[in-house]
Chains A and B, each alone.
Chain A
Amino acid sequence: MTDILIDIKHKTYPAKGSAQAHIAIKELKLLLKSHEFVCLIGPSGCGKTTLLNSIAALDNDFDGEILVGQQHVSPKIGYVFQNPRLLPWRTVRENIELVLNKNDDRQIIETLLETMQLKHLQQVYPEHLSLGMSRRISIIRAFAINPDVLLMDEPFVSLDAPSARQVRQLLLTLWQQRPHTILFVTHDLREAITLADKLVFLSSPPMKIVSEINVPIARDKRDDESIIEAFRQQLITDYPDIKTLL
């Protein structure tokens, strides 16, 4: 069980120098059910990354609580950051291997590299890669640990359309093979509808939830662009608030 209960009363960045104190999140309450695929949608700078960092326990300086899974077991969290954050002085292969524990199976790296068609780049240093490639490596890194919770911060942004489609497909396959909870930040409503069980719309700061909407489209119908587009149109007419957030 890896339900995530997020209950942030307050997250404030204190005033620093001439910058005023900034209230990033206020009264945000969200329950992510185990094995659910949730997309967060909101304007840029609204605090989505702050929220992911809080869940990943990188930022514990907020008022409220986040319960991930059962309290006494800390879940494995895979985090695909907005920047790839690869270690430039380690090869692609080493970068991925480093996140595994000693007795984890290395076979998964082979499989993932192969599926992403990046196997020939194993021994290359990240500085020689394009941003899109680095991004895919950082996605592989997050997949490789078999996470209980996968946090993805606009992971497909600088990928060309075919790679994005390919990675999206891989993400769904892996998620279906080995269900885990996914929290996926995006600006792209179509992408969100294609992927998510649930869409969560967030307001500009102080961030709170505008609406939570379940996506009722069956998984095998998600390839159909017209169904996605129809749902999108309907969303925008049903919830006029959403339009301002996109």
Chain B
Amino acid sequence: MVFPKLSTHFLATLSLIILLLLWQGFAVYLNNNTLPLPITVINVLWQEITTGELLYHLGVTLLRLVISFSIAMPLGCAIGIVLGRNQQLNAFFDNWLVIFLNIPALVTIILCYVWFGLTESAAILAVVINKLPNVVVTIREGTRALNQELLEMAHCYNFNKRKTFIHVIWPQLHPFVMAATRSGLALIWKIILVVELLGRSNGMGYQLHIFFQLFDVTSILAYTIAFVTVIQLIELVLLKPLDRKAKRWRR
């Protein structure tokens, strides 16, 4: 350890402050519109919040995120478990999975809009298709790594399917589900912005598109800060407590 006496809390705060200072330094040094001062960005952020503009678009994007996430996760988990447990099905669908994994997000989005029109459901579908293969692959790995000895124990003591799933399988999949959730959240919100940029008339992506056309870097940064904050909040308020709860049995 380089700073043996400093708490991790302090280090985290320090790193944020240094990042801000670096930003400030570069902005002062460059002194032009492409990199505004942090304080200018904060002002704009505050303005956008008070007019309600930012909250509306952020809300719309978050709603899309929640909907596509709650379709992709359960579906992906189900498919992943089935493929992990069944070798033949896995052999059959493996190619599909590899293909879907490697189709660029942009292609899926464009095709969804072309085939299903510039609609809300096409937008959601595009996000789900992008996210699904990742969940499936992660959960499939988790299912393959299931402890055979515990499954045998469950079988021997006549656990029914439901009991086996809740008490033997799910706790083992939990870390994989959390990994899929984290990476999925990051992936989804990046893709949603592109989806909105290409074919929606509200949401963060749409706003960013407009700011880009106006070369309004200040607003772009303000929106970015808002979004990053929200995602961090989700991590802190939702995911971390879930993690803690699931890990309480560990030594």
Contact = CB atoms under 8 A, between A and B. Distances in A.
A98 B249 contact: no
Would you call the interface of chain B mostly helix, strand, loop, or mixed? helix
Interface string A36-76: 00000000000000000100111000000000000000001
B149 A81 contact: yes
B251 to A, nearest CB: 5
A145 B168 contact: no
Contacts of B171: 87, 89
Nearest to A53: B152
Nearest to A100: B157
Number of chain A interface residues as a range: 20 to 34
A48 to B, nearest CB: 16
Interface in B100-155: 149-150, 152-153, 155
Nearest to A58: B152
Residue of B157, B158, B249 with most chain A CB atoms under a 10 A cut-off = B157
B67 to A, nearest CB: 31
B251 A127 contact: yes
A85 B152 CA distance: 9
A76 B158 CA distance: 9
8 contacts: A58-B152, A81-B153, A83-B149, A87-B150, A98-B159, A125-B249, A128-B251, A141-B157
Nearest to B159: A98
Nearest to B160: A101
A18 B217 CA distance: 62
B244 interface: no
A201 to B, nearest CB: 26
A44 to B, nearest CB: 18
Given A85-B150, A90-B167, A79 B156 contact: yes
B168 A87 contact: yes
Interface string A115-155: 00000000001011000000000000100010000000000
A79 B154 CA distance: 11
Contacts of B152: 53, 58, 81, 85
Contacts of B167: 87, 90, 98
A85 B249 contact: no
A83 B150 CA distance: 10
Contacts of B168: 87
A99 interface: yes
A125 B249 CA distance: 6
B163 interface: yes
A99 B168 CA distance: 12
B250 interface: yes
B170 to A, nearest CB: 9
Given A87-B168, A89-B249, A90-B167, A145 B157 contact: yes
A98 B150 CA distance: 13
Q: Please name the 5 residue pairs, one residue from A and one from B, whose CB atoms are nearest each other, closest first.
A: A125-B249, A89-B171, A99-B157, A85-B153, A89-B249
A89 B150 CA distance: 12
A77 B152 CA distance: 13
Given A58-B155, A127-B249, 14 more contacts: A53-B152, A57-B155, A77-B156, A78-B157, A81-B152, A81-B153, A85-B152, A85-B153, A89-B246, A98-B167, A99-B159, A125-B250, A127-B250, A141-B157
Residue of B150, B153, B155, B159 with most chain A CB atoms under a 10 A cut-off = B153
Contacts of B246: 89
Contacts of A90: 167, 249
B6 to A, nearest CB: 31
Contacts of A128: 251
Contacts of A77: 156
A53 B149 CA distance: 11
A98 B153 CA distance: 11
A155 to B, nearest CB: 14
Nearest to B168: A87
A206 B156 CA distance: 26
Given A98-B159, A98-B163, A98-B167, A88 B153 contact: no
Interface string A72-111: 0000111101010101111000000011000000000000
